[in-house]
Amino acid sequence: MSSVLPTISSADAPYEDPLDLMDEIDRLKAEKDASILAHYYVDGEIQDIADFNGDSLQLARDATKVTTSTIVFAGVHFMGESAKILNPEKRVLVPDLLAGCSLAESCPADKLAAYQQKLRDEGRDFLTVAYINTSAAVKSLTDWIVTSGNAREIIEKLPEDKEILFVPDQHLGRYLEEVSGRKMILWPGACMVHEIFSVQDLLRAKRNNPESIVISHPECPHSILEVSDFIGGTEKMRKYVASIEKPTKFLVATEANMIHPLQLAAPHHEFVPVPGIMTSTGETCACNRCPHMARNTLAKVRDCLKYGQPEITWQPYFEKAQEVLTRSLL
Ligand code: SF4
């Protein structure tokens, strides 16, 4: 990945009034015939100006319904790639090309190809299932792509006589083994945000709020999942809290910006983000914010609309990834 725009850290960027930026973005959207798709983990103010908000699965599907010629994808790099793969004829822009994903980066395509070859050399008969948080190059090496929303359903219908190689999230893989009963070969990857939650802090918060309900993303380690009342991807979380009528306090173990769509879906509840690890000074770190998602800012959304870059361009391996993504998600 290389950025064609100079990268300015938010600390160096001049202050710009968010309301002025929102007005400018609305004007540019109309002028450039663009739609904005924003993941639930980006700042709430970006979610507010987006045409579509959602998790990876929802946004991949929404990307195919966009009628404008340009898509601005406020999320991370692999999501912009998926939008381009599913819409080759559209221009796909991302606010910051350097917004990556620690989970996707834990499974590089060359290492996966070498491991698959090793398994074949051993005579193993397997299918490769990838979580959507992978690069397009990795997607092109797989048989199925899943999200936290449809993973169980896809895994349960795979033929019993094949082994399953699941990449890249070992925690989600372990959770899927438990709920589906299928043993899998797990790639040892993890998300830096979900891996950092402290079970001690969660238990302390639960003890202080005995009536609260703990909701967790399946990317969290097993120690967090086993003390959770509800486990589900972002879209399932939203539906779950909206289905409960009685005002309730929820302790939320996922990226902290997820509180914004939860609050919109069910304003009668209280949502408390589960803290990350305790620092040496006794404070809780802010590591439940994804640093890659945080690279998206209103100013960068405005700039990519204005200058028409950075753009995700079509790569030869997108073709194979398109075949797998379309079969798996649409
Ligand atoms: S929260 Fe984790 S999985 Fe999601 S984009 Fe950030 S690093 Fe990747």
**Which residue ranges does the chain devote to CATH 3.40.50.10800?**
18-99+292-314, 104-190, 194-273
Ligand 1 centroid from CA 308, angstroms = 25
Q: Which atom of ligand 1 is nearest to the CA of 104?
A: 8
Ligand 1 centroid from CA 192, angstroms = 7
Q: Domain 104-190 is in which class? A: alpha beta
Ligand 1 centroid from CA 208, angstroms = 29
Q: Which atom of ligand 1 is nearest to the CA of 219?
A: 3
Assign a CATH topology to domain 18-99+292-314.
Answer: Rossmann fold (3.40.50)
Spell out a b/e string for 290-325, using b for 16 or more CB atoms within 10 Å of the CB, else e. Answer: bebbbbbbbbbbbbbbeeeebbbeeeebbebbbebb
Q: Is 292 left (phi over 0), alpha (psi -120 to 50) or beta?
A: alpha
Placement of tokens 């200058």 in the chain: 307
Which amino acid residue places its CA nearest to atom 1 of ligand 1? 290
CATH number attached to the domain at 194-273: 3.40.50.10800
Quote the mean pLDDT of the chain: 91
Do the bridges between strand 52-54 and strand 91-93 make them parallel or antiparallel, or are there none, so unpaired? unpaired
Q: What is the DSSP letter of 192?
A: T
Q: What pLDDT, on the 0 to 100 scale, is given for residue 190?
A: 92
**Does any ligand 1 atom lie closer than 6 A to the CB of residue 202?**
no
**Does any ligand 1 atom lie closer than 6 A to the CB of residue 50?**
no
Ligand 1 centroid from CA 160, angstroms = 31
pLDDT per residue rounded down to tens, the chain (330 residues): 433 344 444 556 788 899 999 999 999 999 999 999 999 999 999 999 999 999 888 898 899 999 999 999 999 999 999 999 999 999 999 999 999 999 999 999 999 999 999 999 999 999 999 999 999 999 999 999 998 888 999 999 999 999 999 999 999 999 999 999 999 999 999 998 888 888 888 898 889 889 999 999 999 999 999 999 999 998 899 999 999 999 999 999 999 899 999 999 999 999 998 875 544 454 555 567 899 999 999 999 999 999 999 999 999 999 999 999 999 986
| CB neighbour class for 122 (10 Å; exposed up to 12, middle 13-18, buried from 19) | exposed
Token couple for 2: 């290389």
Tens digit of pLDDT for each residue in 169-227?
999 999 999 999 999 999 999 998 888 888 888 898 889 889 999 999 999 999 999 99
The rounded distance, in Å, linking the Cα atoms of 247 and 244 is 8
Ligand 1 centroid from CA 85, angstroms = 20
The rounded distance, in Å, linking the Cα atoms of 202 and 214 is 9
